Structure 1
Amino acid sequence: MSNLPKNDTEFNLQQILLLMNYLTKWLIHSGVGYTEFSAALKPVFYQQAVNELERIEKKDTISAISLLSGLHRKDITMFKDATNEGKLITQADVSEPFSIPARVVGLWVAEDWPEQMPFYNLKQTSFVELVKKVSMEMHPRSVLNELVRLGIVKQDRRQVTLQKRSFIPDQSTQDLRKFLTQNLQSHINAGLHNILFPEQTSFLEESVRADELTKESVQMLTRYSIELWEKYSEELLKIAVECSALDKGKSDANQTFCLGIYQSDL
């Protein structure tokens, strides 16, 4: 029996799932599970369904949005109500579950539990008691292991300590994640534009690939590509600065130009 996709929709889903392997790696590493992520996706699917109906000039009825997005009619109603009230769709009254570890930390801070306490102790406040106030189903040891992995708590023998510094965002690492997100957005936007709107002007979206290479060859190509990019980006940046100076103050100066490059040794 053939393993080829039955239709274009199924093929597209297979390709997106390949990308999701990397995004899911990022989510899991950050402590975000399937339940929280799928809930957070609801307004995204809602908005994109509305955008598609607008593109094809169809009315954005609850049924039409539900058909395109796969969302429950109740959620769609909530999003529509939020929009009609002038709110962001992310402010809609749609239940979004929080992970047990996140709720444990939230309760720990909100109710001012001791910053340090034993994992388990019948005679005094303990981490086990805290977890059981949130959930009787999740094992406290599993919750502790997850919080330790995320760097939110520290365990020293039988003592569990809340790491207050973990609540202070690291600006440098946040900036790196923002840059990655912006670069991925620009890249996928260019590629999707070329696929979905072939009748329009295409964006530059190409790559150079070479297979069956030794580690030494990959290292040599990496060094050479960095040298080329440093030279090319410097020249392009000079022109971009000149264009920015010429366009400054113009009423139609509302466009953004982005050219990126990446290197990988998959």
Structure 2
Amino acid sequence: MQSPTIPPSMLSALRRVMRPLVRLMLRKGVTFPMFADLLKEVFVDVAHREFRLDGTVPTDSRISLLTGVHRKDVRRLRSEEGESLAALPENITLGAQLVNMWTTGKPFCSEPGQALPLPRLASVGGDLSFDALVAKVSTDIRGRVVLDEWLRLGIVRLDEHDCVHLEAQAFVPQKGFDEKAAYFGHNLHDHACAAVHNLSGDGQPFFERSVHYDALSPASVDHLRAAVEKDGMQVLLAFSRLASGLEEVDVPSAEQRQRITVGLYFYTETTDPDLSKTSDP
């Protein structure tokens, strides 16, 4: 079988995409051999799950042909229990539900996006307390357990009156590497899936847009950063309220259930002088 010609533009894009990931790996001690082994697992798993002919599970030989991974390795990897793409950890999904209710549902907010400080104990605040908020979402976990975890992650703070203040309008851990890594994997995966789908040209494209400027001063960048944090957060909260309202009335079957991710990001770095020269008139 003759190998298809790989567009140089694709290899260039992959090289660019990998740079920040390699930077993270080097900082965290992930070496090339470790990553190569991990990548080998992913190649085999994707070929096994997504490259079937007429629904038939591919053989070891076909996976080896598709991926370039040696057949012995393919057989070994398929016999091992691979780590599936699990949903976000339970503590994160619970946290997202709680923050959503705190910022959108009365009596816990003064208006959408404006979470009220809540007395910690139901014995003090009754239905308008942190304990009551947690009980609205789950009766299996105590408010104190959630509070201790959120204090560790920097999601909330406790004032001198024993009231709990929300420090962010969305569940975004300020501390806790494992929690931030979970969001990193979830968000980057879904963004990449949308971009890959759009690049394939199959079906209706997903919304994926951004704006780029390369001649801004540090002061202007700070101004834009603040605008994105304020206005962008309001946009995401509006989408969250819309999705929450729709989910309350939806009754899809198990086969019809779908999940969504809507994201917004901001990034800045020093403009490469070589690149800026090529773009000057």
TM-score band, normalised by shorter chain: 0.5 to 0.7
Structure 1 position 211 matched with structure 2 position 209? no
CA 46–223 in structure 1, closer or farther in 2 if over 3 Å, else same: same
Is this contact kept in 1: 2:52–2:58, CA < 8 A? yes
Which residue number in structure 2 is paired with residue 72 of structure 1? 70
Q: Find the aligned partners of 2:229 and 2:53 in 1 and give their Cα distance.
A: 41
Q: Tell me which of 225, 229, 235 is aligned to 2:232.
A: 229
SS in 1 for 2:216: coil
Shift of 1:56: 7.5
1:30 to 18, 28, 35: 28
Match of 1:202 in 2: 205
Identify the residue that residue 176 of structure 2 maps to in structure 1. Answer: 172
Q: Which residue is equivalent to 1:95? A: none
Structure 1 residues 232 and 25: CA distance shift in structure 2, 3 A: same
Could you say which residue in structure 2 is the equivalent of 1:62? 60
1:222 positional shift: 1.4
Maintained 8 Å contact 2:44/2:74: yes
Structure 1 residues 191 and 61, CA gap change in structure 2 (3 angstroms): same
Deviation at 1:234, TM superposition (A): 2.2
* Pairwise CA distance, 1:51: 3.7
Aligned match for 1:260, one of 249, 255, 263: 263
Distance (Å, rounded) in 2 between the aligned partners of 1:257 and 1:22: 25
Inter-CA distance 202–56: structure 2 relative to 1 (3 Å threshold): farther
Q: Are residues 1:186 and 2:190 paired?
A: yes
CA apart distance, 1:171 = 7.3
Amino acid in structure 1 at the alignment position of 2:33: T
Percentage of identical aligned residues: 24
Residue 11 of structure 1: CA displacement? 3.0
Structure 2 distance, partners of 1:250, 1:229, is 33
In the TM superposition, residue 231 of structure 1 has moved relative to its aligned partner by 2.0
C-alpha distance in 2 between matches for 1:201 and 1:32: 37
> Cα distance 1:227–1:8, how it changes in 2: closer, same or farther (>3 A)?
same
Superposition RMSD in Å: 2.8
In 2 relative to 1, CA 89–240 (structure 1 residues): closer, same or farther, beyond 3 Å?
A: closer
- Structure 2 distance, partners of 1:232, 1:40, is 37
Q: How many residues align?
A: 177
Q: State the Cα distance separating 1:229 from its structure 2 match.
A: 1.1
Contact 2:236 2:262 in 1 (8 A): no
Distance 2:54 2:19 in 1: 31
Mapping of residues 76-225 of structure 1, within 5 Å: 76-80=74-78, 82=79, 88-89=81-82, 172-196=176-200, 198-225=201-228
Change (3 A) 1:9 1:88: farther
Distance in 2 between residues matched to 1:37 and 1:54, nearest whole Å: 26
TM-score for the superposition, normalised by structure 2: 0.56
Instruction: Note if contact 1:247-1:253 (Cα within 8 Å) is conserved in structure 2.
Output: no
Unpaired runs of 5+ residues, structure 2, are 84-173, 270-281
Once the 2 structures are TM-superposed, how far is the Cα of residue 187 of structure 1 from its aligned partner?
0.5
Write out per-residue CA displacement over residues 132-179 of structure 1, whole angstroms, 9 at most, x where no aligned residue.
xxxxxxxxxxxxxxxxxxxxxxxxxxxxxxxxxxxxxx9722111111
Gaps of 5+ in 1: 1-5, 91-169
